[in-house]
A and B are shown apart, each in its own frame.
Chain A
Amino acid sequence: MKIAVCVKQIPDPATPYELDAESHFVVRPQDQVLDDTDRYGVEVGLQLAEANEGTVTLFSMSPSGSLQGIRQALAMGADKAVLIDDDTLRGSAALTTARVLAAAIEREGFDLVIAGTESTDGSSGVVPQQIAEILDVPALSFARHVEAGDGKVTIERQTASGYDVVESPLPAVLAVTSGSVEPRYPTFKGIMGAKQKPIDTLTAGDLGFGSDDVGIGGAGQDITAVAPIASRQAGEIIDDDGEAHLRIIALLQETKVI
């Protein structure tokens, strides 16, 4: 089974994000980390590959020159990676990202494409479905508990009121949730081994995209204004001296909840 896992490299969420004053895009440092959201996709991919004598290839689009995030995913156990890294991709909208990823995945061949539900920095949550439409396959989103084999994939799909069991023939696209699996931590051997694993680096042009199709020009949307939002002010903070519940009750009375 050929499994493609989409992994996004993002600025480290531990440091506050900055917006570029002119372009209004998030400033992307040279070194970016693996989006935590995608560790779940990598784990699901590895488990399915182990059960089905499969291979796991990572796909990432990141106009930053970073390899750190990809190495993190390789260290978990993925076999190889395809990185589309090209300055013309800066400012690309989700649809451009999906087109580029789909083209790279199609070139490589696939039975199953796995992505996260939504990225930490972009969180449009539509890239997996866009990839599925471009590749003309079903998209099984909000997937937890995934099983695959015998030419099909079966998932539990989270819904607002519970879950549905959904089945699809392969090939298909999955978008997994963070409740799906417990991602493994890379071992020392895995981290060392990741340095030797192949990373195939492509440009947008290699995949047949012109510079007008991608980046800001191809986005079809324009950020016209940015403004800070007045944040809610912190109120009263008290230490619990054993009587704090009385202060809570007083506030509940003030707000007429009781």
Chain B
Amino acid sequence: MAILVFSEESDGHASASALELTSKAASLGEVAVFHVGEGSADTFAELGAHGATSVHHMDPGDGLPAAPAAAAIADLVAGDAPAAVLFGMGNTDRDVAGRLSARLGKPVLAAAADLSIDPVRVTSEILGGTQQIITEATAESPALVIARPKAFDAADTGGPAPATIAVAAPDVGRSGSAVVLERHAEQHEGPDLGAANVVVSGGRGLGGADNWHLVEELAAELDAAVGASRAVVDAGWVPYSLQVGQTGKTVKPSVYIAAGISGAMQHMVGMKDAATIIAINKDPDAPIFGIADLGVVGDVHQVLPKLIEALRART
């Protein structure tokens, strides 16, 4: 095993980051995956198709997975040390990476946008994407790396079904005593935010939850996914699953429309790689205009209704 990739099940699939990282790792060497969740032949086959030759599978049941997963991975890498263990930025990914780091006494190389091995070097963007640094792991292998979402492309290369190895969740005592009592999935309509070709996002400039329908109506006309800034997620207008940015989703659509969003660096890291960015903001000095292909200095309450109206009139 040259590289171990962490995968958490979501909606009956391997996480998007696991598929991206498996594809990247397969270009560097032999890939094993550590998969947490219920698991299924289809999920494992999907990982195999992206280049994994083996999948170690742990089903944590209702236990919070991070502590037993970190212990199991520590056991696994103690035998045949891979050059690196790769994580995405999902919540469980980060939990496991942190715990594993403390367990192994090794640092975590965070926010990787690119990666090479021998020695392990990661390229990451810091200070809101204005500077790029290259960090080299100097401790003994494995290096622990957390990669940015969409840093690498997931590629189904038609690999065969991987060998699957069931791993029992180790008893980690007190650390493993947290349990999941309920799981709530929010219903959502329209295309998936992470994969959509067009994203319409709204910010605090919308003025209130009552005006959010403008964002939704525009998105519906463009067959777009709806996104949001953290300010409106925190205000409770929309669920966290719509948040775009450093602590939310990273999107790379063909077109990103930002309405009433100032353009804080933590928001921009999540959308600056969109092919075309359109921003509407009443403040001519809003930072979002610094990266927009088309910036409209104006009031969202004027521009959005007219835009929606005009799009409707076309069809």
Interface residues of A (CB under 8 A from B): 17, 19, 24, 93-95, 98-99, 117-118, 123-134, 136-142, 154, 157-169, 172, 177-179, 219-229, 231-232, 234-240, 242, 244-249, 251-252, 255, 257-258
Residues of chain A within 8 A of B166, CB atoms compared: none
Inter-chain CA distance A192–B275, complex, in Å, is 52
CB-based contact A225/B134 at 8 Å: yes
Please tell me if B106 contacts chain A, counting CB pairs below 8 Å: yes
27 contacts between A and B (CB under 8 A): A24-B133, A94-B108, A125-B89, A125-B94, A129-B95, A129-B98, A158-B91, A159-B91, A160-B90, A162-B239, A167-B181, A168-B179, A224-B121, A224-B134, A226-B131, A226-B134, A229-B125, A231-B129, A234-B292, A236-B294, A237-B289, A239-B297, A240-B296, A245-B307, A248-B257, A248-B296, A255-B254
Question: Given A123-B246, A234-B292, A236-B293: A138 and B175 within 8 A (CB)?
Answer: yes
Please tell me if B240 contacts chain A, counting CB pairs below 8 Å: yes
- The B116-136 residues at the A interface (CB cut-off 8 A) are 121, 125, 127, 129-136
Within the complex, which residue of B173, B176, B257, B290 is in contact with A234, where a contact is CB–CB below 8 Å? B290
CB-based contact B241/A161 at 8 Å: yes
Interface residues of B (CB under 8 A from A): 10-11, 64, 66-67, 70, 89-91, 94-95, 97-99, 101-103, 105-111, 121, 125, 127, 129-139, 146, 173-186, 197-198, 222, 230, 233-234, 236, 239-241, 246-247, 249, 254-255, 257, 272, 275-278, 280, 284, 289-299, 302-303, 306-307, 310-311, 314
Question: Given A133-B103, A137-B175, A249-B307: A126 and B298 within 8 A (CB)?
Answer: no
Residues of chain B within 8 A of A227, CB atoms compared: 131-133
Inter-chain CA distance A2–B108, complex, in Å, is 30
CB-based contact A17/B297 at 8 Å: no
Residues of chain B within 8 A of A133, CB atoms compared: 67, 70, 98-99, 101-103, 175
Inter-chain CA distance A160–B192, complex, in Å, is 12
CB-nearest residue of chain B to A94:
B108
Interface SS majority for chain A: mixed
Inter-chain CA distance A227–B91, complex, in Å, is 29
Which 5 interchain pairs have the tightest Cβ spacing?
Answer: A240-B298, A129-B98, A220-B139, A126-B98, A133-B102
Residues of chain A within 8 A of B306, CB atoms compared: 242, 245
CB-nearest residue of chain B to A237:
B295
